[in-house]
Structure 1
């Protein structure tokens, strides 16, 4: 059995009403560790475990690190997660709850990642947060489940950070023969590395991340995500932090599920229904966010 679950696929009456079209949700916020990340991370961890890995190392204080910690606990494999100083106490609490060793280092993910790589040895497996074909293959299972349910959408809306979910969704569309289903990749202003790559015609690195949607805070999109723009229709949309935060609050009211601003970015397209005009049946990936708290989201709204 895989480490992820087959999450609910539901038609949202509240979002359909406000967007004036049929809006479906793939509820990956309900995964055991709170986000879609367990799909790819679980697949990668199981693969490395079969190949003899006896320890997992990660460099994420967010959803990816939590997924590695969860996978390690389920497989009986020790896990070390290196997190930057900016990691919230809530995230560290959840990592400890999963039994992971937590090392705090550096002011950014890049610095934490550099230390994590020095911890590697032949018996250890490094689980990258987003740039690994094993992850993409695991994330593609989300589309497999939608196909098995017989609910082909006109378009798929998702949030993009480093590009792992985007790569997985496109891989899933292509392996299910849904080459004609476009993707809308949503980012927040100040964390739009995919949009910057589309404009530049190649992956480029942002100078800094200036968005509260820190889960979207990869300074550079992975190469495969950009390369898919040559073989699949992927439209880039950038929204404000405020739009993402408003969507989080409205989604909590509408569906009683709390998600992080990174997920709110994708949901905001339904609440504002721009970019959705050509499509009648929309699928939004409610990717989740285990470290989100209502208090933090309300604090950001009051003091962005």
Structure 2
């Protein structure tokens, strides 16, 4: 379990190592069926193109403070978490080895190599790559960086929520996409008793929805258009505990609604995002989440490691 104090400590630790990303106010009517202005947290402008640089930097700096970073780092990822770990390792001057599934997009694999990481492609989905990374870390003594289920990772991700509180007066609600739940855990911990959090998921990968229904994290089938970014087989334990304790709500959208939301984000804002990121906007424009009149809603826009040529798909 993590709390706001952990997120605040992470913010102090990573200050100057990550970017304070801007917020864009989008006028009412720009998004279909949304009458009030919406605030977009442009976290895709973060180092490596996603919020995950925050958690990775916090994890590595915490380890460095404890003297546990000398043997380098090992991580497993669908792509973005690995990019973040590779970036943080490069800044701190330690080697990084990243395991990704065979289905990882080539754009992410190329970027991992460009950042200096040793890339290992194992298995058809994230869970298999994660098992291989755990084994490798045990063999080498390297620091293992989980993509979403470690306290330092979750707390680091939550630092963007503290920024949003400064950037949007009277913020009521934050909608974010959920995969393994590291972002969810950090943001919900940071915003507890300050703003509500809505977790948006594709119907094809309902990790949060299934966990809340079952009363614990459970395995789900992984498929669909956003699997490269949101393809965790189950919600992390930390995210589940934080979601229950803070009253996070889950909403589901279809793959086609994700595609349409991604295209809308390009048409209205000229922002090209991964399908995983578009899941959060889809929750709003489809009415899966319906704000009350005057409700001030923020959406986390992160995950820019995509190919803009497939905007029609």
Q: TM-score, normalised by structure 1?
A: 0.90
Q: Deviations along 1:177-227, whole A, 9 cap, x unmatched? A: xx1521111000110011111222222111x21211011111111122222
- For the residue of structure 2 that corresponds to 1:103, the secondary structure is strand
Query: Are 1:26 and 1:286, in contact at CA under 8 Å, matched by a contact in 2?
Result: yes
Instruction: Determine the C-alpha separation between the residues in 1 that align with 2:199 and 2:31.
Output: 22
Aligned-partner SS, 1:265: helix
Question: Residues 73-88 of structure 1: matches in 2 within 5 Å?
Answer: 73-88=90-105
The match for 1:4 among 14, 18, 42 is 18
Quote the residue 2:245 is aligned against: 231
Mapped pair 1:168 → 2:186: yes
Among candidates 32, 42, 63, match of residue 57 of structure 2: 42
Q: Give ranges in structure 1 of 5+ residues lacking alignment.
A: none
Deviation at 1:11, TM superposition (A): 0.9
CA-atom RMSD, angstroms?
1.8
Is residue 146–residue 152 contact of structure 1 (8 Å, CA) maintained in 2? no
Q: Which runs of 4+ in 1 moved over 6 A?
A: none
SS in 1 for 2:47: coil
Instruction: Give the Å deviation of 1:242.
Output: 0.9
CA shift, 1:117, in A, is 1.4
Instruction: Render the CA deviation track for 1:215-260: whole Å, top value 9, x for unaligned.
Output: 1111111122222343222111000111111111111222222111
SS in 2 for 1:231: helix
Q: Does structure 1 conserve the Cα–Cα contact (< 8 Å) formed by 2:24 and 2:40?
A: yes
1:229-268 alignment, distance < 5 Å: 229-268=243-282
Write the distance in 2 (CA, Å) between the matches of 1:47 and 1:229: 24
TM-score, normalised via structure 2 length: 0.88
Distance (whole Å) between structure 2 residues aligned to residue 106 and residue 231 of structure 1: 34
Question: What is the aligned counterpart of 1:67 among 80, 84, 88?
Answer: 84
* 1:196–1:34 Cα change, 3 Å: same
Q: Of 97, 102, 105, which residue of structure 1 is paired with 2:114?
A: 97
CA deviation profile, 1:145-167 (whole Å, cap 9, x unmatched): 12233523111101110010010
Distance in 1 (alpha carbons) for counterparts of 2:252 and 2:284 = 14
Give 1:15 shift.
6.1
